[in-house]
Structure 1
Amino acid sequence: MGHRFQASRQWERIQDHWITEDAAVDLDNLKSDGRNFKLALWDPSTNGVRYLKALTYHLGMELSADDWARIRRTPNREVGNPITVRCQGEPLCLDYVQAAFEVGLIDREIDLTGARVMEIGAGYGRTCHMILSNYDLAGYRIVDLRNTLQVSRAYLREVLDEARFDKIEFVAVDEVDDLFPSDRFDLCINVHSMTEMSPDTVRAYLELIDESCTAFYVKNPVGKYVDETLDGYHQGREAVEMALENGPLRQLVDIHDSEAVRAAAPAFIDGYRPADDWECVSDGPAVPWSYFWNALYKKRV
């Protein structure tokens, strides 16, 4: 018939470098080294952005109508050049997917109309951005380290209109004691920062929440983990040791075991409860991270 069946130039190269003549000799690491990364998978060490976009895409395609409504009411999400995909006709990044999940849980339990909200550790301000874009608040206070406050102040000034931005009060951590004795808030929020604080600092914040707030939303890891395969400890072992000593929950958890994560959830709920008279009214896994949990507490009156 005269047909010629042969490897492409691409696969000639793969056979020279990865699927070599001796590739079948030792199968011990076949599914986690360069052989399988060429046969079936993308190499995670070089395809992080590909995986991030795939994750964002699939989460975006599963968002509820209410989630999409909150996202669409949040303008200027493109500020800062996020890594995005396009779902349902909208550019979407993982940060605002997470914000939609967080605000959705809060919305099911708390009436935010006219509320005063405090956020401890706001990052660049994505959760604040979504809440102020979707609800008519009385005020929003951000408590954070001074350098981080500079970032959130600049970002929120860029993405919010003047009326909404003027509702935000930026408070540095060393100013907290002077401002809080008489202040009251309908909700406090903490997303992935108490786990990075010293245990004493976390206890101080929980006491502050107990004294000044009537509801508390928290999203943090259920414990600590030691897994060098995730990032090769690229920041050094000292960074790992510092991470292990912080937060209210310092027990090691297999973060890739669903039963281990769920078994750690009761300790999470107790560990972030501001005081005994606070009731956890909603909790569950914090998508998309396997080892994060979120919970909403209300103070009994």
Structure 2
Amino acid sequence: MDTYKLAQELVETDPVESEVIFRRIFKKTGLNLHDTLVNNYKRTEGLETLIRNIALSARRANMFLERGSKEQDPSAKNYVDLDRTVSEISNGFIINQHNLISETIDKNPVVAPSQFWRKHLINHVKMLIDDGIDNFKRTLGHNYINFLNKSPASIHFKSHLDLWKLHGSTDVFLIDSDAPGSIGLKADVQHFNSVQINNAETWRVYTFLVSLMWEYAIIVDEHKILTRLQEPLYGNPLKIRRRSRLIGQDLTHSVAEYSLIKSKTNLQDDIRVLEIGSGYGRLAHLYKYLGAKKYVMVDISPAIIVAQNYMHNIMPNLKYFDFRPIDNFQSVEREFEEADVCFMSADQIALLPDKYFDLAINVCSLMEMKLETIDYYLKQISRTTTGYFYTKQWTLQKNLQDKIQLTKDDYPIPSDWTQIADRVDPAFTRLFEQIWKVK
């Protein structure tokens, strides 16, 4: 029997095998699935039909595999499903840690936060104090890459409507959700123009967008991560479900980023990863779940405070190297080497060993830095990394506070790096993604 026809017949009876066959057929085209999803890619009718079949079989395969998935979120044992949870971390601790980290970083003017970030750090700390660190996924989390969109006219929404035309899934309507509650959806209003999801209509738009994003992640998730890994309850995420399964923006971003990196590199899962501007740890969670040997998170405050608290709660059995001021690397080398996850302030990247990492990552924060800081970090990546660098940034970033405007061609990439991927992010066309081979 024709292989294509066999895969079609297996969609309902054996969707897992059907998906494997369709993906194998696609690979024989010599194309990269991630590239063909970009809206301006010249797809033939046959190629679009094949992508629809991959989407359909993957969706059915996920439904089958999720029935046997009993993954337990370690943070669930302490979780109370209320609008506001009670934090075990005091406001005094947050303020003291924020001051300590900020003082440490400010000793090195090159990595000190830009005016753009200095303006917002105060607001970010205020969010943690006002609404609790245990609710950060409804407040601070929306200041990273968990975008608040309340209008179908937004570029983010339009990007996913274009993808929807391609995969045509009706499962996007199978949404069940709880109203946001008293905490709602907050962001830094000075930064995000007071975007609030504060009524039933905008909430419907937002939940539909998340469902569209989930569908896109299913297509690119060749490794079936979405059937195994769930959005952790810690941080009090918004309750949006499909077939009783909690879904969210953050996990879709992480799966899409991981899948692109995997498709373009020869990296295995047991690697050492450096992430600069690591936020609260969404990618760290995914990479450690999949078996990364070590994950080093470099950031400013209060992100480090949130990330430490988050990772300790959702993966309590790992060994951690928590942030502390360091005079020299030798004094902490043994503890650093024994740790699975390390938290370091921006200035401490200079202490890390040469050619130590297999992969370096930066998602949407280089674009918000001073030019000298961008140059410094790229040179540190060149020194510490012997594999690849993945970057995702705005195609055009206007930093009014620091009087800087950046396009993707303005980043001072070292001349001895080789570009192996460069595309517009099909899930949000204001962003570009690149992967570089680091020499």
* Shared fold (TM-score, shorter chain, > 0.5): yes
The equivalent of 1:288 in structure 2 is: 427
- For 1:78, give the aligned amino acid: L
Q: Does 1:102 align with 2:257?
A: yes
Q: Does 1:157 align with 2:157?
A: no
How far off is 1:129 after superposition?
A: 0.7
* 8 A Cα contact 2:231 2:248, kept in partner: no
The equivalent of 1:93 in structure 2 is: 248
Structure 1 residues 143 and 175 mapped into 2: Cα distance closer, same or farther (>3 Å)?
same
Counterparts of 1:1-301 in structure 2 under 5 Å?
Answer: 47-62=201-216, 63-64=218-219, 66=221, 69-75=224-230, 77-87=232-242, 89-108=244-263, 109-134=265-290, 136-163=291-318, 166-177=339-350, 179-182=351-354, 184-213=356-385, 214-224=387-397, 241-242=400-401, 245-246=403-404, 250-251=405-406, 268=408, 270-272=409-411, 274-300=413-439
How far off is 1:271 after superposition?
A: 3.6
Q: Deviations over 1:118-174 (max 9, x none)?
A: 00011111011111112x222111111142111001011111141375401111113
Please identify the structure whose Cα radius of gyration is greater.
1
* 8 A Cα contact 1:74 1:129, kept in partner: no
Structure 1 residues 224 and 167 mapped into 2: Cα distance closer, same or farther (>3 Å)?
same
* 8 A Cα contact 1:141 1:170, kept in partner: yes
How far off is 1:222 after superposition?
A: 1.0
Normalised TM-score (structure 2): 0.46
How far off is 1:53 after superposition?
A: 1.1
The equivalent of 2:140 in structure 1 is: none
* 8 A Cα contact 1:53 1:84, kept in partner: no
* 8 A Cα contact 2:197 2:203, kept in partner: no
**Count of aligned pairs:** 223
Between 114-123 and 287-296, report the one with greater CA deviation: 287-296
Normalised TM-score (structure 1): 0.66
* Structure 2: 5+ residue stretches without partners: 1-152, 154-195, 321-338
* 8 A Cα contact 2:298 2:346, kept in partner: yes
- For 1:282, give the aligned amino acid: A
* 8 A Cα contact 1:144 1:171, kept in partner: yes
Mapped to 1, the partners of 2:314 and 2:222 lie a distance apart of 19
Structure 1 residues 147 and 45 mapped into 2: Cα distance closer, same or farther (>3 Å)?
closer
Quote the RMSD (CA, aligned, Å).
Answer: 2.7
Mapped to 2, the partners of 1:53 and 1:67 lie a distance apart of 24
Mapped to 1, the partners of 2:345 and 2:202 lie a distance apart of 34
- For 1:291, give the aligned amino acid: R
Mapped to 2, the partners of 1:133 and 1:96 lie a distance apart of 13
Mapped to 2, the partners of 1:65 and 1:288 lie a distance apart of 11
* 8 A Cα contact 1:188 1:209, kept in partner: yes
Q: Deviations over 1:35-89 (max 9, x none)?
A: xxxxxxxx98855433221111112133227367223333452221222422355
**What SS does structure 2 have at the residue aligned with 1:103?**
helix
The equivalent of 2:171 in structure 1 is: none
Mapped to 2, the partners of 1:152 and 1:110 lie a distance apart of 28
**What SS does structure 2 have at the residue aligned with 1:78?**
coil
* 8 A Cα contact 2:225 2:255, kept in partner: yes
- For 1:200, give the aligned amino acid: E
Between the aligned residues of both structures, percent identity stands at 24
Q: Which has the higher contact order (CA 8 A, sep 6+)?
A: 2
Mapped to 2, the partners of 1:101 and 1:184 lie a distance apart of 25
* 8 A Cα contact 1:61 1:88, kept in partner: no
